[in-house]
Amino acid sequence: MAEIVVENVTIQIPIYDIGASSLRKTILSKTVGGRFETSGSYLIVDALKDVSFEAHDGDRIALIGNNGSGKSTLLRLLSDVYPASSGRVKVVGEVSPMFDPMLGMSMDATGMENIWICGRLWGLSPAQVKNSVDEIAEFTELGDFLNVPVRTYSTGMLLRLAFAIATVRDPEILLLDEVVGVGDAEFFKKAFSRLQDVIHRSQILFLASHADDMLRQICNKALWLNQGNLVQYGEFESVLAAYRGRSKVTA
């Protein structure tokens, strides 16, 4: 059984190297909405402000909100990359983040070597990597190309490989950020169904995206963030409708 309880979590991110440049401060505070406070030589951004929510088995949660609203910060909190500045996070179950499928790819290594390097980085055991090699080869349709450096691959081939490796996993809690388009249309279909398989195997899913149609296919709940505040959390359609309604008004 997987469970997430987030209680009153605030994340303050220090931004260094701003120095005495008041011009940059002004620009930043205009673009991200005045959430900055100065502390000594660096700025502090409240990336999440007093956020509380719970997630349980079967929850497929869409993270929605404008760019810079805190979606990625929330995902990084759940994956333990960012510590909470205050508040409390309880996570039961193994968290499996997938923000950037290209993680750990070395361009000069062969496809096969990358399966090993990336697979191990994603937390697979040597046995798991070994067992998934054939399946990755079949899915990517790369054949003998797996034995040449990935530097020679086309963008589509590279993404296919990265995506195939990144989706070998049995996640309890799956965190996805902006699922990228994978190659041509035909392959995208194949990739999407593979992604859905992984999602089905997970118990809790967080998916940050701006693509309403994809969210609608996958998610049953939505969590709306705005400037680090949790605006609304609940049933997918009603939160999305509120979010779209409000966006229209402000637009």
Which residues form the interface with other proteins (CB under 8 A)?
Answer: 7-8, 10, 13-16, 50, 76, 79-92, 97, 99-100, 103-104, 106, 108-109, 113, 116-117, 120-123, 126, 149
Pick the closer one to other proteins by CB: 169 or 239.
169
Pick the closer one to other proteins by CB: 79 or 140.
79
> Closest separation between CB of residue 87 and other proteins, Å?
6
Pick the closer one to other proteins by CB: 33 or 93.
93
> Closest separation between CB of residue 36 and other proteins, Å?
15
Q: What token pair was written down for 114? A: 């990358």
Please say whether the beta carbons of 25 and 38 come within 8 A.
yes
Pick the closer one to other proteins by CB: 172 or 183.
172
Give CA–CA dist 164/183, Å, rounded.
12
* Residue 83 DSSP class: P
Pick the closer one to other proteins by CB: 108 or 144.
108
Pick the closer one to other proteins by CB: 119 or 183.
119
Give CA–CA dist 33/232, Å, rounded.
19
Q: Can you spell out the DSSP letters for 151-220?
A: GGS-HHHHHHHHHHHHT----SEEEEESPPP-SSHHHHHHHHHHHHHHHHH-SEEEEE-S-HHHHHHH-S
> Closest separation between CB of residue 13 and other proteins, Å?
6
Please say whether the beta carbons of 167 and 198 come within 8 A.
yes
Which residue in 143, 210, 204 sits closest to 181, CA to CA?
A: 210
Give CA–CA dist 221/56, Å, rounded.
11
